[in-house]
Amino acid sequence: MKPQYLVLAIAYLTAFAAAGSAAAQEQRTPFSQCQAIAENIPKVTFASFSGAAPLTPAVSEGEEVKFTFLGHSTFEIDTPGGIVIATDYNGWYRPATMPDVVTMNKAHPTHYTLTPDPAIKHVLHGWSDVPGEKADVDLVVGDAYIRNVPTDIRFSYGLGGSQENGNSIFIFEIAGLCIGHLGHLHYELTDAHYTEIGRLDVVMVPVDSGLTMGADSMSRVIKRLRSSLILPMHRRGPPVEAFVSMFGKDFDVANAPDDSITVSMRTLPKKPLIYVLKGVQ
């Protein structure tokens, strides 16, 4: 073969291989099983600790997810595959073992830290450091798929005004469960938010009756989400009963004997349950 033809053949084969690789990568893109309308398939970053990442985290029947209330709005989420996640991580409330993933919001310093332990592999901010842009989280870590839905926040400490897309609702898709942490939610959600969120089987909700939203506004959000398991958090001052009183006979209420609960797709309550973990009361 003449040299010039050999160069052309190599160039063609290289381009073909690159195209094939890109197509394969596109096919490996996972999608949210929890979104009500999957108009946009998210492009995620794979960070699995166990070899090649699957299209979506594998789910086995009966797999359980454990939730432990650590304080304020920080929960430890333990996945069946051994991934440890800490929500609204501020460095004060820490899991017993080093978390693999931490999420943060910046409405107040109690919801984030700018100096997390460098051993934490994935530190996910609910805000963007680029003015005018939204935080964009799409990440697979082991058997957990994590994404975010940005929301607006009021400026802290009575400064007035608001910041567009200043915080995020983080959503964790684990073992078939759709899990949402509402963060420091300041405004009632729009139809677009609900569409982007999709189904939530478990939701962690602030119940401070004012620092985020009033009990009536927050209860409207929860009623529309109609999650199977509602875990109150972020209680400041008023008792949880101020929030619970907004719900009627369509919701059950129970106080937990300890600070954790373990659930799976098969053990979710059939009727929406507001479950107050020890330490929140």
Could you report the per-residue pLDDT of 176-196, keeping only the tens digit for each?
999 999 987 756 788 998 899
- Residue 39 confidence (pLDDT) above 50: no
pLDDT band at 15 (very low <50, low <70, confident <90, very high): very low
Q: What is the pLDDT of residue 61?
A: 53
Instruction: Determine, yes or no, domain membership for 43.
Output: no
Instruction: Determine, yes or no, domain membership for 49.
Output: no
Q: What is the pLDDT of residue 265?
A: 94
Determine the residue type at 116.
Answer: P
Range of the domain at 191: 65-276
Torsion of CA 195, 200, 204, 206, to 10 degrees: 30
- Judged by average pLDDT, the poorest of 41-50, 60-69, 217-226, 233-242 is 41-50
Q: How high does pLDDT run on average in the chain? A: 78
Q: What would the DSSP string read from start to end of 49-118? A: SSSSPPSS----TT--EEEEEEETTEEEEE-TTS-EEESS--SSS--SS--SEEEE--SSGGG--SS--T
Total domain count for the chain?
1
Instruction: Determine, yes or no, domain membership for 59.
Output: no
Instruction: Determine, yes or no, domain membership for 48.
Output: no
State the sign of the Cα–Cα–Cα–Cα dihedral 236, 278, 222, 239: negative
- Residue 130 and residue 154: Cα distance in Å, rounded? 18
- Judged by average pLDDT, the poorest of 97-111, 144-158, 193-207 is 144-158
Prediction pTM value? 0.79
Instruction: Determine, yes or no, domain membership for 251.
Output: yes
Instruction: Determine, yes or no, domain membership for 16.
Output: no
- Greatest mean pLDDT range, 21-35, 72-86, 145-159, 181-195: 72-86
Encode burial over 132-159: b for 16+ CB neighbours within 10 A, e otherwise. Answer: eebbebbbbbbbbbbbbbbbebbeeeee
Please report where in the chains the tokens 């907004």 appear, as a residue.
246
> Residue 128: which CATH number?
3.60.15.10
